[in-house]
Amino acid sequence: MRLPIFFSKKRGERRTGSPAWGSFGEGFFYASLLTAGLFVGGLMLTGVAVPEWRINNHFTEVEGRLVGKGLARRTTTDLFGIRRQSWRPAVLLEFHADGESVRAWHTSGWGEATTDRSLALRQLDGWRLGQSIRCWYDPERIETVVLKRGYSWWLWLLTLLLPGALVVFGATGLAQAASAWGRSEERQAAEIGQLLSPLVRSSPDEEGFPTVPACADLMNSPGTIQRFRLPTESPEAWSLLGAGLFALLWNAVVIVLAVAAGFDLAGGRTDWWLFGLLAPFGLIGLAAIGLFLRRLLLATAIGPTHLEISDHPLRPGGTYGVHLSQGGAVSFRRLELVLELEEQATFRQGTDVRTEKQVVWRELMCCWDRLEPVPGRPFEATLQFKVPARAMHSFRSLHNAVGWRLVLRGIPDRWPAFLRVFPLVIVPAGPDAAAAVVRQPLREVVS
């Protein structure tokens, strides 16, 4: 038996490695989230939800009588060795259960214990000895009695939302990692593409061209200078969203654990298991916040990128205007706008399905060096470009694709380089344009 390789290797512009080890690491991460959600959910269910549910569904209602009252004193010692006393009002109830008279003290339902003894005494003034009181007792433990029922809905909501989100997120990711075990990302992408292919619908502009990708989603946003505003494909936006959601969910669990640990310390108890769990969870939470803030600072410093185009879809030989708007407050060493043609091929290699992408044609539309920001105003530029007359139209099939795009590459000062991709759709030329294309030399479209 051969173990999976630990390190990846590079073949051209593509890195290869072990899908098994990648799936294992991803599965371990999601399994940790699932375990944390189950553990925190179990603590909250057994500590809050289950006792309230039993009180409202299993406790038996009886008519009792107040036969005594007093203060329940509790002495605790904190981590520094300081002894403290707290007081809680208590009443002695007498009631009949299973044909016998029972006396039981009740101390719950009075709020938190107080270190002010006089305040606890004043809380007893409203109770008179001998008065009748409706109460509920536990049939399994008759000495357990309460004076009121009801639900703490905010605790139930907290119990369901926070651990539930971790459980759903972890279980979904774990199932996905298990299904992807030993399979390459390319094969997974191909399978997803096959599932989604029946949902693809062509727009009116591509009627008669079944292999041309639909561009309705590229034309639903009007521009301010040009006719359409193109959507942006930015990996930084998805990484920022993912980092924010992870930091929010993880630190919500940390806050719940910290509150529970704080109550234990205030009560003079020290749960070392809880503190041992809180320490690594807190470090991971701080790291998640730091990662999110770093990505947020990077996104806000560079600023948004908007690109508008005069018409869409495009046709070979056509001339179109674009308007670029780059926000942010950083200086750029270089900023360039490029028109690219990318080819994609999906093929089977052994038991894996791989997808290769390669930029086969590139034309530099415009380049700006040493850009300094103007306070309160984005950098704007309007220019024109021409689609090559012999350009291949956009194409998509089960195993091959040809896609056009406008790419903005930027190198800011003191920040990592960034990339903004704006997809385009080029439809086949008309009969007149096709006749003119025959007389065009091939060198116009070959880089």
- Residue ranges of E strands in 183-300: 228-229
Helix (H) or strand (E) holding 336: strand 332-349
**Mean pLDDT, the chain, integer:** 76
Average pLDDT, stretch 121-139?
A: 82
435: confidence class by pLDDT, cuts 50, 70, 90: very low
Q: Residue 301 in contact with residue 328, Cβ under 8 Å?
A: yes
Q: State residue 239's pLDDT score.
A: 76
Q: State residue 331's pLDDT score.
A: 87
Take residue 414 and report the two structure tokens written for it: 């003191």
Q: Name the domain boundary from 148, 168, 185.
A: 148
Average pLDDT, stretch 118-139?
A: 81
Task: Tell me how many domains the chain contains.
Answer: 2
Q: Looking at mean pLDDT, say which of 41-55, 70-84, 296-310 comes out highest.
A: 296-310
195: confidence class by pLDDT, cuts 50, 70, 90: low
Q: State residue 206's pLDDT score.
A: 45
From 11-15, 32-36, 312-316, 428-432, the region with the lowest mean pLDDT? 11-15
Radius of gyration of the chain (CA): 34
End-to-end Cα separation, the chain, in angstroms: 48
Question: In terms of residue numbers, what domain contains 137?
Answer: 60-148
Question: Greater confidence, 293 or 165?
Answer: 293
Domain holding 136: CATH number? 2.40.50
Query: Percent of the chain at pLDDT above 70?
Result: 73
Residue 41 within any structural domain of the chain: no
Residue 263 within any structural domain of the chain: no
Question: Greater confidence, 350 or 313?
Answer: 313
pTM of the model as a whole: 0.50
Among 207, 182, 239, 201, CA closest to 313? 207
Average pLDDT, stretch 18-43?
A: 74
Domain holding 333: CATH number? 2.60.40.640
Q: How far apart are CA 154 and CA 156, in angstroms?
A: 5
Matching residue, tokens 């949902």: 199
Question: Greater confidence, 175 or 272?
Answer: 175
Residue 226 within any structural domain of the chain: no
Q: Residue 93 in contact with residue 103, Cβ under 8 Å?
A: yes
Q: How far apart are CA 308 and CA 228, in angstroms?
A: 5
- Residue ranges of E strands in 47-192: 60-77, 83-97, 100-106, 132-137, 145-146
Question: Greater confidence, 409 or 113?
Answer: 409
Q: Return all residues near 163 (Cβ < 8 A) that are at least 6 apart.
A: 37, 38, 40, 41, 44, 253
Maximum pairwise Cα distance, the chain: 110
Q: How far apart are CA 434 and CA 339, in angstroms?
A: 22
Q: Residue 409 in contact with residue 338, Cβ under 8 Å?
A: yes
Residue 373 within any structural domain of the chain: yes
Q: State residue 14's pLDDT score.
A: 47
Residue 385 within any structural domain of the chain: yes
* The residue type at 401: A
Among 159, 116, 115, CA closest to 266? 115
Q: Name the domain boundary from 148, 183, 201.
A: 148
Torsional sign, CA 354, 355, 361, 363 = negative
Residue 388 within any structural domain of the chain: yes
pLDDT of residue 221 exceeding 80 = yes
Torsional sign, CA 108, 111, 117, 119 = negative
pLDDT of residue 2 exceeding 50 = no
Q: Name the domain boundary from 112, 127, 148.
A: 148
363: confidence class by pLDDT, cuts 50, 70, 90: very high
Q: What is the pLDDT of residues 75-99, one digit of tens each?
A: 766 556 667 777 778 888 888 887 7
Residue 287 within any structural domain of the chain: no
Matching residue, tokens 């989100």: 165
Within 399-442, residue ranges assigned H as helices are: 431-438
191: confidence class by pLDDT, cuts 50, 70, 90: low
Among 186, 298, 282, 306, CA closest to 239? 298
Q: How far apart are CA 216 and CA 209, in angstroms?
A: 14
Average pLDDT, stretch 116-132?
A: 78
Residue 158 within any structural domain of the chain: no
Helix (H) or strand (E) holding 54: helix 50-57
Residue 28 phi, psi dihedral angles, 5° rounding: -65, -40
